[in-house]
Structure 1
Amino acid sequence: MTANTIAHLCKQHDAMLQTMQRMRLAMLAGDITSARAARDALHALQAEHIAAEESDLISRLGTSARWSAKVYLAEHAKLAAMTEEWRARLERLPAHTVEPERRLALLDASLPLQHLLEHHFEREEKGLFVEIAG
């Protein structure tokens, strides 16, 4: 079961990064409605992903793990908070944004969330998944 769970979680990583890219591309185009839809999809994927990891994997980490369970849990909380911040931010905007400066500002502001996703997924794939599978 663990190998299947880990394979599924890795596929979810890819899906979340693709969804983040869809959100960013929509913001670049000024299509806030599509950015909201991508954000909602990201939120749903994240919630399912975090629940699976916290119930099936993180609780099984040993004391000699490269990163403690607290690290993964803290990153999950940070990701959830950042996604919520994006929910609020995009809800304040009109359905379409024409101004290139505003579109660029949105794109720039989304980089911390993208970077945290990438960093967190790398930590899981090189730490959590390896330790649980091994």
Structure 2
Amino acid sequence: MAYENPSQEQIKQLLNQSQTVAVVGLSDDPTRVSHMVAEAMQRKGYRIIPVNPKAEHILGEKCYASLKDVPEPIDIVNVFRRSEFCLDIAREAVEVGAKSIWMQQGVINEEAAQHAAEHGLTVVMDLCIKVLDSILLPHGKQ
């Protein structure tokens, strides 16, 4: 059975209520999609926490090697890693008490989605957070 994303209204509510977005796989290369998306989300007022073991700072924020190293609560774990890494990321998101996991467009892992959903996380898969935020919250959070 394929995982079904939340409704647009539920996604809008998730975005509206979220402040902190941990971006797993955030690149320090400004030409990479992960960097462009995270920068746009940062400009819209989200607190971006880079999760990349190979960088010290991205977008002016301290980087962490893993979700377990992030010292504050996480609303959304935004995943920019290949699909085969998502189950481990979902397990870590559950472990740290994240509220949701968002697998970017092209990132699909049914097992990861199921694991996260079974542990109470809202799961969004194969959609771009920047695009949905722009469509659902064109004037910012309410």
- State the TM bucket, normalised to the shorter chain: under 0.3
Say which structure is richer in helix: 1
RCO higher in structure (CA 8 A, sep ≥6): 1
TM-score, normalisation: structure 2 = 0.25
In terms of Rg, which structure is larger? 1
Higher normalized strand content (fraction of residues) = 2
How does the TM-score come out when normalised to structure 1?
A: 0.25
